[in-house]
Structure 1
Amino acid sequence: MRERMALVFLVLLRIVIGWHFFFEGYQKISSVNRGPTETNRPWTSESFFREGTGPIAALVRSQIGDTDDLVLARLDIRPVPAGEDPTKYADYKRMPAALDKEWDQYLDRFARAHGLGPAEQEVAAKTLQQQKEKLVKAFTTVKKDYKRNYPSGTLDVQLTVAERTAEYRKKLAEYRTTQGDKLFAMGKDVEKSRRPALRGEVMSLRAELIKEIDAQTSEMKKALDDSVKQTVSARQTMTLPDAQEKPKLIAWIDWTTRWGLIVIGVCLLLGLFSRSASFAGALFLLMTILTAPSLPWLPAPPQSEGNYVFVSKNVIEMVALFMLAFMPTGKWFGIDALISSFFKRNDQDA
């Protein structure tokens, strides 16, 4: 009786894990199919790898770029070249290099989406140039209230976006030193208590500055819409241009993750190739653990639930799947039993 109940609960363990995998995959596919809306953001693993603290995350970031470095590239106003008169040098030429490229690519997608003719493209290009000049002036001359942390408390200070960017760069460099040489300078984690606070400040500064970029980008898109609205609406309905492409590596990881979860989940639910599916699921979870490990000297992964030291829910589920990989639960209850009996019957007939 005890052995039977043990088998029943092992099969149930396989089924509930299979449901977890299947539903995770279904939700991810569903969010992508619905597309971006006010209430839905298509799932992507990009933020998971960008914020992860494990070796897999570092490997992926080495291919797609570090989040903070990419944000800084969208914020750094280019200096006036040597020999040029600063009073006569066009502001739009000082646009941050990465953001300049991003906006130019948006204009190309905008022109294709609306089928702009040569005259309309010229108007749109002129509008984009004006918006670039507006951004450079806003980032370098307009002061805004920002909160700055002092030992005595938090105070509002007036800074330009360029000055706030300099603070962000300085704080980021300080945070990175706590992950480098200082970490083991005395044979132990001497920055453990300071690192989470620094990381929080870096993320707060980054979020503030991304809002500034997004606000300027939204104004640019609205200005482009308005510049061609009359001529375009006369012949067609205004449509949104295609979304900016994700890095190819992330696109491949996203696709394999979505459908891999579905396939593993279905196999575990039906008891089809149950041992192979269990092993594949365990390897998938191992990859997620190595992307965002629950190590006490590392910051908690973004959107993490609970408090873990070494052993997280993913670790528990991974160990369970490795155990199931060595047990024929599909032959106890599942399609594997039908496949096994079919081959046994053929062997007997032979």
Structure 2
Amino acid sequence: MSHLPIPLSVLYAGLAGTLIALVVATATNKWSLRVFFLLALRIAIGWHFTFEGLHKIHSIHTGVTDTNRPFSSEPYFKVAPGPLGAQMRKQFSDPEAEIAKKVRVSESISRAEFLRLSPEEQAKKCPEEVRNQFDALESNAKQLAKSEAERELKDATTAEEKAVKGATEAEGKATKAAKTDAERTAAKTAGDAARAKAKAEGDKAREAAQKKLESHEKTGDELVLAVKAAYARWVYGADARPAQVKFISGDLQLTAPQRLDHLEWVRKEARDAEERQSLGLGNGTGTDSKRVAEFRMGAITAEADLARDANAFIDELKKDLGFKPDPNATPELSVGQRMDRFTMWFLVVVGSCLMAGLLTRLACVMAAGFLVMTYLAHPAFPWYPLPPNTEGNPLFINKNVIEALALLALACYPTGRWLGLDAIVLRPFCKCNGCPA
């Protein structure tokens, strides 16, 4: 238990006390083996739940290290094929919803037709969800244009001063090396010409920068228009972006319509593979099962990758508008991440109740319900891939089912009154003071 901040002495003392209490409770019930094994089963399951929850809590508080990864159920649900799998994945992220809002278009326009549109018309074709994000940065874009103009204005003055200084130094060296009045006059004339040229170039650069400064609001609007058009060109297939997709090796340049076509192809292959395997009631060869799992995972991955790449492109364009994410900002937890926090404390509380014999029957039912939900996300059906880190080769029945049945069996007995706080807490609600053997 080195991964938990619990001294081994405390752990061993608790184990010894639990064993003694188990023996005393068995003796009190006339050394009934039924009582002993039911109590041992309850304590063992409670121990499993409690320390699994404590380990998850500890991993969250420790953070990312070389030997620790914070607990997240997202990888488990990412490949979950069961009835609850898709719903649970959406609690962490909903790639299909992201794709529908940011990649799919409401009207069909060919690439040639889109390219004939003006930049303003192309910008209007940008998906509304993305367009709104860019519009929200309009003031940033104007401030960026203003800052750029001010920088150019300052750079123009600096460049002029440097050029004048260089011309003066060159004149001084030429004058010092001159041996005749004519040479000295020529050096002065060259110096004056260089200074005049530097001043003229400086005035020209300052004038251009000043015009930019005066029209920075218009420039900001043009920046927003440009990023909208750039995103729309990708969405409507006019421009391609680097992409890596499953089943196709190498770096590619793909447009959004091409990515959507690939996604639909992978989904169709997954459906066809599942249909072929279902004709044999799922009892295909290992190759069949592997192919189905590969295409199913390929569809999930392609969907997530497309949503991720679309958001990455949006963030890249936002930077062109002067957007700078706050490095100290705490990212908002998704519903799935909040569920993870609830889950780890749920395991600790329910496990502790089972070990302490407090509200035992309720704890058994709640723990069994949790295991059933986990099973429904990743059923041990032969036509589904095995969950990550699965031991053995379960067929319909896995460890979650067995443990859930054991908990429901425990809920049928008053084990909390044989050994636990239920003997005190529930005494006022019991009709008899004695406990059945």
Return the TM-score normalized by structure 2.
0.55
Matched, 1:55 2:153: no
Question: Aligned equivalents of 2:299 and 2:429: distance in 1?
Answer: 61
Residues 169-213 of structure 1 show CA distances to partners (whole Å, capped at 9, x for unaligned) of 211122134445x55557766764631232243244345434523
1:31 deviation in Å? 7.0
Matched, 1:201 2:290: no
Unmatched tracts of structure 1, length 5 or more: 112-117, 230-236
Match of residue 266 from structure 2: 171
Match of residue 6 from structure 2: none
Equivalent runs, 1:130-279 vs 2, <5 Å: 130-137=226-233, 140=237, 141-142=239-240, 144=242, 146=244, 149=247, 155-156=249-250, 158-162=252-256, 163-179=258-274, 184=278, 192=289, 194-206=291-303, 208-220=305-317, 222-223=319-320, 226-227=322-323, 239-240=328-329, 243=332, 246=335, 257-279=343-365
Question: Aligned equivalents of 2:44 and 2:406: distance in 1?
Answer: 11
Match of residue 336 from structure 1: 422
Aligned residues of 2:368 and 2:408 also touching (Cα < 8 A): yes
Greater mean deviation of Cα atoms: 17-26 or 28-37: 28-37
Question: Aligned equivalents of 1:66 and 1:322: distance in 2?
Answer: 33
Q: Percent identity?
A: 26
Please tell me the root mean square deviation across aligned C-alpha atoms, in Å.
4.9
Match of residue 70 from structure 1: 97
Match of residue 375 from structure 2: 289
Question: Aligned equivalents of 1:207 and 1:62: distance in 2?
Answer: 11
Match of residue 118 from structure 2: 88
Match of 1:14 among 38, 42, 46: 42
**SS of residue paired to 2:49:** helix
1:268 deviation in Å? 0.8
Distance 1:129 1:34, change over 3 A: farther
Match of residue 310 from structure 1: 396
Match of residue 319 from structure 1: 405
Find the structure with the greater CA-based Rg.
2
1:167 deviation in Å? 1.2
**SS of residue paired to 2:395:** coil
**SS of residue paired to 2:397:** coil
The aligned amino acid for 2:293 is P
Distance 1:346 1:3, change over 3 A: closer
Aligned residues of 2:242 and 2:254 also touching (Cα < 8 A): yes
Match of residue 12 from structure 2: none
Question: Aligned equivalents of 1:42 and 1:130: distance in 2?
Answer: 42
Aligned residues of 2:96 and 2:307 also touching (Cα < 8 A): no
1:272 deviation in Å? 0.5
Question: Aligned equivalents of 1:89 and 1:241: distance in 2?
Answer: 37
Aligned residues of 1:50 and 1:66 also touching (Cα < 8 A): no
Question: What number of residue pairs does the alignment pair up?
Answer: 318
Question: Aligned equivalents of 2:311 and 2:109: distance in 1?
Answer: 27
Greater mean deviation of Cα atoms: 327-336 or 76-85: 76-85
Question: Aligned equivalents of 1:346 and 1:4: distance in 2?
Answer: 20
**SS of residue paired to 1:159:** strand
1:317 deviation in Å? 1.5
The aligned amino acid for 1:174 is E
The aligned amino acid for 1:201 is G
